[in-house]
């Protein structure tokens, strides 16, 4: 029992260090962005359902919040302070999931501002599900929703040699291919404001320019792409059709060789899978230093 108390005290000390970080001190606040970030820090701290490990993961998002000019702070505050954690697993199972759905092991899920664990959660698993809770989008296809969460899970909560696309390699591929075409800024704005029209309009511009056709015709191709994406990326035939259509967005008009190679790699994953393709991840705020604890 004494060892457990010492362990809990150490964890509490680390959380207090984060809360007391000078960069989040009230004395340092002078802009609206800093006020927003302080409020989100308090939303995490005041969440009555999260344990210290879960709060520590949520603290890791603070720099991302601070660097995101499109963040709906009111919505994110509500999502963070009210986010519930349901621990539906055997704590003595050594991390093995006790939830099996069609032979696919599920570690955790997010729905209705609740994160439910089916196995002992790692920081990476918590980070993936918290990413869903932060954005909590309605208009964005699941193909992008899971792609974004997987990118955040791998880049922010795993060492480079641990990074793995898992079940969402195709989601990551279509997400990063879209970012490559329309730019990180527009994509971030779309998911932060839950406005899929931003992505669609940007893709219309790209398709129209690269294929030298009018925007009305380009809109038809974008609509077809989103019909495929709305069906998910589980069915191999649908995914290959998605890849073939997506290829037409860039193959004729992309003259930047580096970008073309990356887009071909992403499309190849949609066709075949990740085994023979090296897929790099993006930081959404690569110019920022991540919060360290």
**Cα 253 to Cα 79, 134, 250, 271, distances in angstroms:** 41, 36, 6, 21
Residue 161 has pLDDT above 70, yes or no: no
Residue 58 has pLDDT above 60, yes or no: yes
Residue 159 has pLDDT above 80, yes or no: no
Q: Give the model's confidence band at 24: pLDDT under 50 very low, under 70 low, under 90 confident, else very high.
A: very low
Per-residue pLDDT, 9: 45
Range 70-97 average pLDDT: 80
Overall residue count recorded for the chain in this entry: 293
Token couple for 268: 């190849």
Token couple for 221: 């191709």
Per-residue pLDDT, 274: 57
pLDDT 10s digits, 104-127:
456 889 999 999 998 888 899 999
112 torsion bin: left (phi>0), alpha (psi -120 to 50), beta (else): left
Which position has the token pair 């790209």?
A: 206
- The 10 Å Cβ neighbour count of residue 185 is 13
Contacts of residue 188, Cβ cutoff 8 Å, sequence gap at least 6: 68, 70, 284
Per-residue pLDDT, 35: 60
Query: Which of the residue ranges 39-43, 73-77, 204-208, 231-235 would you say has the lowest mean pLDDT?
Result: 231-235
Q: Give the model's confidence band at 166: pLDDT under 50 very low, under 70 low, under 90 confident, else very high.
A: low
Per-residue pLDDT, 36: 60
Residue 224 has pLDDT above 80, yes or no: yes
Query: Which of the residue ranges 41-50, 55-64, 86-95, 198-207 would you say has the lowest mean pLDDT?
Result: 86-95
Range 57-86 average pLDDT: 90
Strand order in the sheet with 84-87: 84-87, 114-117, 108-111
For helices 196-211 and 215-230, what crossing angle results, to 10°? 130
Q: What's the mean per-residue pLDDT of the chain?
A: 79
**Sign of the C-alpha dihedral computed for residues 79, 110, 62 and 32 taken in this order:** negative
Long-range contacts of 57-62 (CB under 8 A, 24+ apart): 57/123, 57/126, 57/127, 57/130, 57/157, 58/130, 59/15, 59/18, 59/291, 59/293, 60/127, 60/156, 60/157, 60/290, 60/291, 60/293, 61/130, 61/134, 62/24, 62/37, 62/291
Per-residue pLDDT, 277: 46
Query: Which of the residue ranges 47-51, 173-177, 202-206, 249-253 would you say has the lowest mean pLDDT?
Result: 249-253
**Cα 241 to Cα 8, 151, 221, 246, 283, distances in angstroms:** 52, 24, 13, 8, 29
Q: Give the model's confidence band at 215: pLDDT under 50 very low, under 70 low, under 90 confident, else very high.
A: very high
Range 75-100 average pLDDT: 74
Strand 84-87 relative to strand 114-117, pairing: parallel
Q: Which of 253, 248, 281, 283 has the alpha carbon at shortest distance from 267?
A: 248
Query: Which of the residue ranges 18-22, 103-107, 173-177, 208-212 would you say has the lowest mean pLDDT?
Result: 18-22
pLDDT 10s digits, 254-283:
888 999 999 999 999 888 865 544 444 433
């Amino acid at each position: 029992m004494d060892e457990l108390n010492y362990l809990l005290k150490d964890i509490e000390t680390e959380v207090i260090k984060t809360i007391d970080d000078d960069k989040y001190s009230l004395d340092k606040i002078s802009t609206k962005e800093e006020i927003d970030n302080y409020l989100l820090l308090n939303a995490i701290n005041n969440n009555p359902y999260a344990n210290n490990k879960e709060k520590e993961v949520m603290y890791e998002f603070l720099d991302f919040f601070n660097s995101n000019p499109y963040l709906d702070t009111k919505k994110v505050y509500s999502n963070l302070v009210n986010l519930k954690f349901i621990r539906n697993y055997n704590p003595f199972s050594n991390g093995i999931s006790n939830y099996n759905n069609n032979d696919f092991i599920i570690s955790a899920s997010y729905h209705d501002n609740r994160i439910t664990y089916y196995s002992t959660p790692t920081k990476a698993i918590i980070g993936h599900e918290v990413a869903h809770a932060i954005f909590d989008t309605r208009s964005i296809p699941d193909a992008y929703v899971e792609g974004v969460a997987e990118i955040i899970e791998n880049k922010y909560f795993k060492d480079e040699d641990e990074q793995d696309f898992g079940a969402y390699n195709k989601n990551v591929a279509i997400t990063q291919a879209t970012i490559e075409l329309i730019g990180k800024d527009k994509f971030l704005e779309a998911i932060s404001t839950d406005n899929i029209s931003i992505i669609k309009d940007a893709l219309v511009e790209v398709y129209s320019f690269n294929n030298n056709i009018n925007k009305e015709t380009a809109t038809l191709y974008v609509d077809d792409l989103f019909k495929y994406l709305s069906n998910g990326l589980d069915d191999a035939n649908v995914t290959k059709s998605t890849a073939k259509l997506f290829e037409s967005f860039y193959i004729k008009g992309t003259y930047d060789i580096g970008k073309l190679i990356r887009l071909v790699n992403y499309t190849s994953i949609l066709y075949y899978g990740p085994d023979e393709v090296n897929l790099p991840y993006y930081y959404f705020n690569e110019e920022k230093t991540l919060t360290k604890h």
